[in-house]
Amino acid sequence: MTYRRFPKYDARKYRCAIFPWLKARHIHHTTYKGPEVLWLDLLPLSVPAHWLVHGILGGSLWMKKAVTRQNQVAKRLPCPWLWRYPNPAQRLFHLWARIPWPIKVGGTAYFVGRQFWM
C-alpha cells in the first residue's frame, strides 16, 4: 500500500466539523503522522473554525506557517511538550470536532435540560 501524505479531499463537499451551518473550506490535519483518515485525522473546517484552531488556540493570529511557528515558539518555552502542536486546547478542539453533529446537539440539549429541570 502506498502512503499518500495529502489525499485529494475536496473540502467544499463537506460541512464544517465545528460550525455545520458553514461550508468547509479547509481540510485540517489533526496530526502529521501515518495514513490520514477523513473525520479522524483530517477534519473539514470553515475559515473561522480553522482560524480558531490555529489563531486563538495556537497563538498564531495570521496563520502563516502556524504549526511551524507554534513548534518553534514551544522550544523556547518551559515544558515545550505543553505548547507544541497540538497543545491540550487544540487536542480538545480536535476531539470535539470528531464527534458527529447529532450527538453533539443531543448531548448538549440533554445536559442543559438536565441542569434546568433538576
For residue range 54-97, what is the model confidence (pLDDT) as tens digits? 888 887 777 677 888 888 888 888 988 888 888 899 999 999 99
Rounded Cα gap, residues 104 and 92, in angstroms: 14
* Contact between 44 and 97 (Cβ < 8 Å): no
Q: Determine contact, residues 24/11, Cβ cutoff 8 Å.
A: yes
Per-residue model confidence as pLDDT tens digits over 45-64 = 999 999 899 888 887 777 67
Tell me the β-bridge partners of 45: 26
Band of the pLDDT at 1, cuts 50, 70, 90?
very low
Short-list 60, 36, 41, 26, CA closest to 71: 60
List beta partners, residue 44. Answer: 27
- For the chain, the residue count is 118
**Tens of pLDDT, residues 15-35:** 999 998 899 999 988 887 778
Tell me the whole-structure pTM to 2 decimals.
0.77
